[in-house]
C-alpha cells in the first residue's frame, strides 16, 4: 500500500478500484440539488404572497371605489366635482348624480367666501354606489376679531394684546396728556371687526406738549391764572407774603422761573403779595 493511501490523501475523491463513486463529489451534487429546490420554494412563496396582496388590494378597491361595470349599471355613479361651488350648488350637483352631500365641517379661509366647498371625499371622477355620501368641507370665510380698547396701556402691553389676536402693528406717536409711552388709540378704532391676519396703527403718547413758563411777576393773580390756563399750564400751590411792598394780589414770586420748560398740564407755584383775605376771588384759594 502506498504512502498516499495510508495518509488518506489519494484515492478518495476519485473512483476506487472497485468502481465506487467519490464521496465528496456525491455530497457536492446533493448540495446543489438542495440549493436549487430552496430557490424554487422561495420563489413560489413570494409569488403566493404577492398574489394574495394584489387580490386583497383589488377587492378593497372594488368595494371602496367601485368601477362602473357597464353603462347600464345604475348602481354605480361618477362623483361630480363640487370644489369651489357654494353649498346649495354643490348639493344640487351631488343629488343630480344620485349621491348625497354631507357637510364634514368647516375651516376659516381668507379668500374663499363663506359656504364655499374647499374639499370633497370621494375625489372628483371617482366612482361610488348610488346614494353614497359625498363629504364636503366648507369655508367659514376669513377669520375676524373685534379690535379691543387698549387706550391707557403701555406700548408693550398694548402690542402683546393686539399681536396675540393676529394683528401686525405700525406705531405712530404724538403729543398727548397721557404719560409718554402710553397707548392713546388704534386706527381703526376699538370695536371694529377686522380680518386677521391684518394690519393696524397703534398711536402712542409722546407726553404732553412742551411749553415755556411765562414771566408772571407783577401781574395780578387773576391775570396770572388766565395766562397759565391759555398756555396749557395750571396753578399749583399758592402762598402769601404780607411783607411784600407790591399791591395785594400781585405776583411777587413763581416757581419754576420764567423761561423754564414744562409739559402742558404741569402746575406753577405762585407767591402773592398781601394776606389771603385781600384776594377778591376766593375760588382761587
The alpha-helical segments, DSSP class H, found in 65-125 are: 87-96
Looking at residue 2, what is its pLDDT? Answer: 39
- Hey, what CATH class is 144-205 in? alpha beta
Which one-letter DSSP state was computed for residue 146?
A: E
Looking at residue 127, what is its pLDDT? Answer: 94
Query: What architecture does CATH give domain 76-139?
Result: 2-Layer Sandwich (3.30)
3 state DSSP class of 226: helix
CB 212 within 8 A of CB 261: yes
Residues composing the chain: 285
Find out if CATH 1.10.10.10 is the number for domain 210-284.
no
pTM assigned to the model: 0.52
Give, for all 285 residues of the chain, the pLDDT tens digit.
433 444 433 444 444 444 444 455 455 444 555 566 666 765 666 566 655 555 554 444 444 444 444 445 668 999 999 999 999 999 999 999 999 999 999 999 988 999 999 999 999 999 999 999 999 999 999 999 999 999 999 999 999 999 999 999 999 999 998 999 999 999 999 999 999 999 999 999 999 999 999 999 999 999 999 999 999 999 999 999 999 999 999 999 999 999 999 988 899 999 999 988 767 654 554
Looking at residue 281, what is its pLDDT? Answer: 55
Domain boundaries, the chain: 1-64, 76-139, 144-205, 210-284
* Identical topology for domains 144-205 and 210-284: yes
Longest dimension (CA), the chain: 161
Amino acid at each position: 500500500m502506498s504512502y498516499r493511501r495510508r495518509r488518506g490523501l489519494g484515492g478518495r475523491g476519485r473512483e476506487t478500484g472497485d468502481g465506487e463513486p467519490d464521496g465528496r463529489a456525491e455530497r457536492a451534487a446533493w448540495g446543489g440539488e438542495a440549493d436549487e429546490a430552496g430557490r424554487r420554494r422561495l420563489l413560489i412563496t413570494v409569488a403566493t404572497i404577492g398574489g394574495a396582496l394584489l387580490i386583497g388590494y383589488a377587492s378593497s378597491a372594488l368595494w371602496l371605489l367601485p368601477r362602473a361595470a357597464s353603462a347600464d349599471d345604475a348602481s354605480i355613479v361618477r362623483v361630480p366635482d363640487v370644489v369651489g361651488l357654494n353649498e346649495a350648488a354643490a348639493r344640487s350637483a351631488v343629488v343630480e348624480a344620485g349621491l348625497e352631500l354631507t357637510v364634514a365641517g368647516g375651516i376659516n379661509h381668507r379668500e374663499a367666501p363663506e359656504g364655499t366647498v374647499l374639499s370633497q371625499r370621494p375625489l372628483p371622477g371617482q366612482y361610488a354606489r348610488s346614494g353614497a355620501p359625498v363629504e364636503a368641507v366648507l369655508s367659514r370665510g376669513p377669520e375676524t376679531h373685534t379690535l379691543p380698547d387698549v387706550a391707557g396701556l403701555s406700548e408693550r402691553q398694548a402690542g402683546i394684546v393686539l399681536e396675540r389676536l393676529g394683528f401686525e402693528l405700525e406705531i405712530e406717536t404724538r403729543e398727548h396728556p397721557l404719560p409718554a409711552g402710553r397707548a392713546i388709540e388704534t386706527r381703526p378704532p376699538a370695536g371694529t371687526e377686522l380680518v386677521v391676519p391684518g394690519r393696524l396703527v397703534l398711536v402712542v403718547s409722546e407726553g404732553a406738549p412742551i411749553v415755556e413758563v411765562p414771566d408772571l411777576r407783577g401781574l395780578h393773580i387773576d391775570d396770572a391764572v388766565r395766562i397759565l390756563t391759555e398756555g396749557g399750564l395750571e396753578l399749583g400751590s399758592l402762598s402769601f407774603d404780607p411783607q411784600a411792598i407790591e399791591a395785594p394780589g400781585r405776583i411777587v414770586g413763581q416757581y419754576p422761573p420764567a423761561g423754564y420748560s414744562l409739559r402742558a398740564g404741569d402746575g406753577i407755584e405762585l407767591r402773592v403779595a398781601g394776606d389771603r383775605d385781600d384776594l377778591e376771588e376766593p375760588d382761587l384759594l
